[in-house]
Amino acid sequence: MEALPASPELRAALQVAGRKLGLDNSVRERLLQEPVIAVAVSGGADSVALLAALSADDALRSRLYILHYDHRVRGAESAGDAYWVAALSAALGIPCEIGQREAVGPASETNLRRDRHLWFAKAMAKLGARALCLGHHLDDRMETFLLRSARGAGVEGLAAPRSIQGFRDGTFRLRPLLARRRRELRAALFDAGVPWREDATNNDTTVSRNRVRAEVIPALEATFGSTWADGVVKVADNLGEAADALRAWLAELGALPSAAGDLSVKGLVGRPRTLCRLACSELLWSHGVEDVAGTIFETMVDDVVSGQSARYTLGGIEWELAAGVLKVVEKSTGWGEKPRPLVIDGSRTESGLTAAYVKVDGTLWASLSRGDILPTHEVYLRVMDPLELTWRSRLPGDRYQPLGSAGTAKVSDLLIDRKVPREVREQLPVIMIKGEVIWVPGAPPADSLRLSGPCEKALRLTWQSPSLTSDLPR
């Protein structure tokens, strides 16, 4: 359902759908204070329903400005979305700005979200807008709660998304339809004859969120009835209030991010872990790191509680915890195409990689020979000299000759054949020596570096997923 009707008919249909949906009262009151309101419109049903609800409000309509970001992930389909949103904007007489990602092709959801919101921030600054409206609804809230529960998120993460979310730079994100179910939005559009774009990737159940939407939530509703959603909302709201109370405590302790971008943690030593977790989350969020769950982050929190000093790489940023202060040492490009050194010292990178020299004795060699140690997470390789070890994101066309293979194979084919979910594939690091691929977690290592028996010095590479849910099958 994509073709756009003539402008008068389209505007009338949007009015009908928008008035049926309405707006959250607290969000509307906040929006009335803003002269310019940015609206994120992908072209999908959720964002079109959002635009309908906002444009049906006479007091808000003239303040709206559509923002569309082309992720350039789906080729012609992505470009078609941008063209369709531009046409929708012209038909409604609402101004629009369209941005696009520089890179083309698949990327992790984390990186896509980061790039999208960076562009939103630039576009809003250009417009002088502080408010960004998003089309999240109740189903999004349930999915997020379940996914973040599986990742071990803290109180703030489990409370998200909230209808009004403020940031230290004075901007905020608003979700006027957060109390509505997905089916309500689509029904309102369909009944009024309002078109929208469909994204086929939303049907890919190798993606965790899509699988939760297609399989887990229906199973929960079948077990507990449709009112189970009310329980999730109540729990999330309670956790939101708890997060607010913890944030007030952090303010009393002087343990919120400073204007300089660092965090004093002296007053947090020995404090409840939940409190320290929120403090660290606040600091990372202030530097644009939104995905704060995972093993490296949890180590950071543990060190704050115990008063340890350490360094970490998280979210493309080098962090240092020393003398009671957690601060940024260096901001890098994070995950990307540029190779980054992999130091052979046993410390874990933000990608989850660890490199170390080890002795392979008879017992270990026997385990390797029997296949007791699977190459999904750990490999032992012959040492080359000199050893220029680097890692980067996976690129289209990456290939190498895996152990036991007669020829080379594409990395993407190796991972697909092993049924590695797409969202996990996009977050796997590629390890190289002198620019040549030697291993990617989930697949065998390079045949050229195979061990022939016990040895005094071998290179051990291990990988532990930095996300608690984006792991490989063992």
Q: So where are the chain's domains?
A: 7-229, 254-331, 340-463
The first and second tokens of residue 304, run together, are 């704050």
* C-alpha 13 chain-centroid distance: 34
Does residue 333 surpass a pLDDT of 60?
no
DSSP letters spanning 231-290: HHHHHHHHHHHHHHHHHHHHHHHT-S--TTS-EE-GGGTTS-HHHHHHHHHHHHHHTT--
CA dist list (Å): 456 to 364, 369, 382, 453? 12, 17, 11, 10
Count the neighbouring beta carbons within 10 Å of the beta carbon of residue 7.
12
Whole-number Å distance between alpha carbons of 185 and 306: 48
Q: Is 190 left (phi over 0), alpha (psi -120 to 50) or beta?
A: alpha
Lowest mean pLDDT across 143-157, 274-288, 437-451, 456-470: 456-470
List of residues 6+ apart from 274 with CB closer than 8 A: 154, 155, 246
Q: Which residue has the tokens 């202030």?
A: 286
Q: What is the mean pLDDT of residues 50-73?
A: 95
CA dihedral (217, 219, 224, 225) in degrees, to 10, reads 70
Q: In this predicted structure, what is the pLDDT of residue 285?
A: 84
| Digit-coded pLDDT (tens) for 190-212 | 999 999 999 888 887 777 888 89
Please give the helix or strand (H or E) that residue 338 lies within, else none: none
In this prediction the pTM is 0.73
Q: What is the per-residue pLDDT across 420-447, written as a single tens digit (0 to 9) for each?
A: 877 677 778 899 998 899 999 989 999 9
At which residue do the structure tokens 């790191």 appear?
289
Give the domain 340-463 fold.
Phenylalanyl-tRNA Synthetase; Chain B, domain 3 (3.50.40)
Note the pLDDT tens digit of each residue in 117-144: 889 999 999 999 999 999 999 999 999 9
Q: Does pLDDT of 269 surpass 90? A: yes
**Low-confidence winner among 36-40, 58-62, 366-370 (lowest mean pLDDT):** 366-370
pLDDT at 439: 94
Which CATH topology does 254-331 take? Answer: Chorismate Mutase Domain, subunit A (1.20.59)
- CA dist., res. 235 & res. 241, Å (int): 10
pLDDT the model gives residue 316: 67
- Which pLDDT band, with edges at 50, 70 and 90, does 2 fall under? low
Given pLDDT bands bounded at 50, 70 and 90, which one contains residue 335? low
CATH of domain 7-229: 3.40.50.620
Q: What is the mean pLDDT of residues 40-59?
A: 96
